[in-house]
Structure 1
Amino acid sequence: MADGAIMPAEGLEEARARAYATPLEDFHPGDPDLFRTNSHWPWFERLRKEDPVHYCRDSEFGPYWSVTRFNDIMAVDTNHEVFSSEAALGGITIRDARPDLRRPSFIAMDPPKHDVQRKTVSPIVSPHNLQAMEPIIRERAAKILDELPVGEPFDWVDKVSIELTTQMLATLFDFPFEERRKLTRWSDVAITIPAPGQLVESEEARQAELMECLAYFTRLWNERVNEPPRTDLISMLAHGEATRDMSPDEYLGNVILLIVGGNDTTRNSISGGLYALNLFPQEYDKLRADHGLIASMVPEIIRWQTPLAHMRRTALQDVELAGKTIRKGDKVVMWYVSGNRDETMIEDPDRLIIDRERPRQHLSFGFGIHRCVGNRLAEMQLRIVWEEILKRWERIEVLEEPRRVRSSFVKGYEQMLVRIAG
């Protein structure tokens, strides 16, 4: 693959020509097909330069504001008094759930309820717990890697990224290990946009699968609530003072949040990291020469990949941002994927540079009260995977352009064919 070819799926020049030929008033940067084809980059590049707080008048998601620069995103993300995450107002994604299907979870809540629910589950990723998890993650990563075929093509997404993160999720929930791929399925179903030919073809089909998820987790809740408190997430929720009286909808909302948060973000960074090292082979050479660079490479991968492309808020009052007046009730989308490529804040942002001086200067985990609760766990999983990979092989080659998820929320991969050099 060509060094630095960040979007061979459509062709950088063709995509840039289309983005710069389109009138700004017709911009819809949240179009999922831009992300599926990896051609969203020039659209955000132009917005950062010409219209960093942009209003889309109409789209399949309705009208919305796009916030595309690093500092403006920070201003929104850290001001929960003005920019709300409440599910009842639309929640945290560009796509509004139907009013009858809006399920609260602590990420889609404002204080004070947000604070007490988040506090209930945060001990799962305490430094003590992370230290206890490390040998388990390493053992599983080693087993997964040792079972990979050498010298023949295979799907890295399925064999490594999904398998490792799903095993970790099963551990966090104390979920029946042999049925762990149910978690993968529910995560994918939860974030998919129903359409013919997609993972689920209608909202009704999606809801039916999510009801299966609720039924399964309700059974686990009923088992745990009648046992002494344990250190898994379901037991924490069942026994937590702020969560033990949740409605079924709220329980499902929190379960889906924890599944997607623990699955999609880490799994797509595991895939995205390997993809990026193949795009920038000189960085792969650096890594092989100095395994100590893993420490700075991991947050740089998370910045470069940006596994969640955006988070959304709803304005609680009229507010001015970068010279634009956002009205009360307006939908405001913080494009982390754009802020992480902001040329005014990050030098040479389109490149993966594994020895950056400030690799944690990124937006991928969010900021403020909703900063990702599992960020250290995600970094630990990535670190361990790369430590174990480098013990085994000189190079893993990406054989063709990956197939990407059709989503402007989860920025991920459906398939990526690779080969381990024999």
Structure 2
Amino acid sequence: MSIKRRTFLKALAGGMTLGSQALAARSAKPRLRGKGGVVKKLVVVFQRGGNDALNTLVPVDATQYNLYRNLRPTLGFTTNQLSPVPNNSFFRMHPALNPMSGLISGGDLSMIHAVGYPDSDRSHFESQAYYETAIPGNSLSSGWLNRFLQNSTSPLNPEPPIRGIHIGSNIPQAASGQVSVPVSNNFGRLRLEVDGALDDTREAALREEIRNIYNLDITGSNDRVYGTGRKIFQMLDNFADRDLDDYVPENGAVYPDSRLGERVAHAAQMLKDDNPLGIEVVTIDQGGYDTHAGQVNPNNLTSLDTPHMELLDELSRSMVAFYQDMGATRMDDILFLVVTEFGRRAYQNDSNGTDHGTGALAMVMGGPTNGQMINGGGNWPSLASLYRGHDLGWVTDFRDIYWEILRNHMGMNDNDLQAVIPGHTYSPVGFIP
């Protein structure tokens, strides 16, 4: 079939834009392989807006719990409303997290309370940038996950054309940088979009003509351009059978009927079977955590019709479904990290909500973790002495969480990690033995 020259050139330009950064010059260093050469994988969900850590994982030590209720007379949960945390007496958790109890008791879900960084900033823009670049002060624009991809190589040979993806609409800063990370809500439907929609026959003909040009044996100044083109088509071919609408989860897993549920299900779909995809890093956003007003219904704290309850319910059921869908064997090589830019004020405001605070909560799910609730007991930053007079303080630097994952799970050594999280001195957190 004949394709108009103008149509062909527009498609060619669009394709080169999609993958032009994938071949950027870099000094990549090899990493350790997973067991049997299996690719280690990392899913990162960012809770946009600042999740309320203090209502998500609540201290029920007598002294701290009384302080909590005094700070939150209508926003704070009773101990009976909270769900027990298996093998832990210092904390109870938000009732929406109850589906996670089995993961905790099985040692497959850890939580790190009181997470932050020096001179914490309560600005969404600034704090999200710090968490995503892993550099408080934001001296680099590239994201920590992109720098991980830049400074490492896949254990697969040949190296896959794409090692990281973002499931959503806009790429987060954490995944931005020198290495190309494609973005889509459904990677199985990525197409060359030229002059509007093409029927299947014309699209196939167009792709074949472009493919033939990129496959020419050409050397010289255009090597990188042609290499990029070949990578683009390899990526499109590999993604072709990963249409989310056709996905059937395994092991009876049921994902929530929500945007997050769909995105986490698609992450599972994209991470199954190292060959041919070989994806190592997936990023997903969940918005809505800026709960200044109406965070709860004071007359019914456990109502699912309130924002915070709905968000955490969606998150917990998505994570449980992901674990069930992937199965314990696959999860031995996967970590699922949940972070947010800051916690909320220790005390409630006058609108049944909470304002921007400091100490945050991170969650880590997967076979490599050990089911610990970190920073309770003697490490807890007391509610009797609030950080800057308003906030739960912080104990664990978020960069230590990133470092522990990249070091103990993804297999980077400390020297290579200095290129990913520059200027940081790692202090072990303890959620990966």
Q: TM-score scaled by structure 1?
A: 0.25
Where relative contact order (Cα < 8 A, 6+ residues apart) is larger, the structure is 2
Instruction: Answer with 1 or 2: which has the greater Rg.
Output: 2
The structure with the greater share of residues assigned to helix is 1
